[in-house]
A and B are shown apart, each in its own frame.
Chain A
């Protein structure tokens, strides 16, 4: 995965995702939200939905802080600490100003997981608009391919094999007897589980690769 042509800033941004912890934090938040919305859709229970939303917002807004707690026990003692990537907003503004998207500035920045959440929420809206059970895997396949293609050059690229797992996760929901109005929340649940599993996979690989670390 290590690309020697990457600038130090881009390398540092990728390093934030090397252990899968940010994926796990975001994924768990999203999955809990989706689960609350699906399981308690019929009859509607506002309190549970609000709790799910609170968990999601905490994971989204506090992603850096929560990830750092875990990283300080696993990643920093093994392969060192570098400042977590800042939000990409400032950089986009500059790219628009200078009109050159071909060469990204050498900065430690990231926009993850915002775009992933947006894609899953759009998928959710599409499923709600179409309202057909079989549309769920098709929309999830489209979302997965979109995520794969748009993240290719980013600091957190999705692997094609992992991207293709996302629609497979949604297939059981076609057969489950969940209410049709709850189907629209399948992207949040499956997307969350998908992200968390990827994170767990990366964490396992990272721990294996750094098994013989020395204490700093």
Chain B
């Protein structure tokens, strides 16, 4: 298998642009709720919910329903598996395409 062919084996859950963006957001900020992610990513409610469900099912994101004061929040966090998957994905892409000049 050549380096470029490695792109065929990248994690498809991470590879989808919206999910990649969600993972990158969560990696940078630590944790965020549904409303914040929706505003920052320009998602519709349904779109974000679908992607978060896929990420949660893959074990990459942990979603906690909690309260801050009296306000109910769905707080999303990157799991260690999600962090590793993101790192592995970035490494695979850089390996195959080369680091940006």
Query: With an 8 A cutoff between CB atoms, is A131 at the interface?
Result: no
Query: With an 8 A cutoff between CB atoms, is B37 at the interface?
Result: yes
Query: With an 8 A cutoff between CB atoms, is A79 at the interface?
Result: yes
Query: For chain B residues 10-59, which have a beta carbon within 8 Å of chain A?
Result: 24-25, 28-40
| B68 contact set on A, CB distance < 8 A | 68, 71-72, 76, 81
A8 touches B33 (CB 8 A): no
Query: With an 8 A cutoff between CB atoms, is A189 at the interface?
Result: no
Please report the C-alpha to C-alpha distance between residue A83 and residue B78 in the assembled complex, in whole angstroms.
13
Partner of B72, one of A8, A9, A108, A216: A216
| A83 contact set on B, CB distance < 8 A | 29-32
Please report the C-alpha to C-alpha distance between residue A7 and residue B69 in the assembled complex, in whole angstroms.
29
| B87 contact set on A, CB distance < 8 A | none
CB distance from B42 to the nearest CB of A (A): 11
Partner of A7, one of B28, B30, B38, B70: B28
CB distance from B37 to the nearest CB of A (A): 7
Partner of A108, one of B29, B70, B71, B75: B29
Please report the C-alpha to C-alpha distance between residue A14 and residue B36 in the assembled complex, in whole angstroms.
13
Query: With an 8 A cutoff between CB atoms, is B73 at the interface?
Result: yes
Please report the C-alpha to C-alpha distance between residue A13 and residue B87 in the assembled complex, in whole angstroms.
23
Query: How many residues of chain B have a CB within 8 Å of chain A?
Result: 23
| B32 contact set on A, CB distance < 8 A | 12, 80-83
The residue among A8, A71, A86, A107 with the most chain B CB atoms within 10 A of its own CB is: A8
A216 touches B29 (CB 8 A): no
Partner of A106, one of B28, B33, B40: B28
Query: With an 8 A cutoff between CB atoms, is A69 at the interface?
Result: yes
B30 touches A81 (CB 8 A): no
Partner of A72, one of B25, B28, B69: B69
Query: For chain A residues 96-113, which have a beta carbon within 8 Å of chain B?
Result: 106-108
Query: With an 8 A cutoff between CB atoms, is A73 at the interface?
Result: yes
Q: A8-B40, A216-B34 are in contact. Are A82 and B29 (CB under 8 A)?
A: yes
10 contacts between A and B (CB under 8 A): A8-B29, A8-B40, A9-B29, A12-B32, A79-B39, A82-B29, A83-B30, A106-B28, A108-B28, A216-B35
A residues whose Cβ falls under 8 Å from a Cβ of B: 7-9, 11-12, 15, 68-69, 71-73, 76-77, 79-83, 86, 106-108, 216
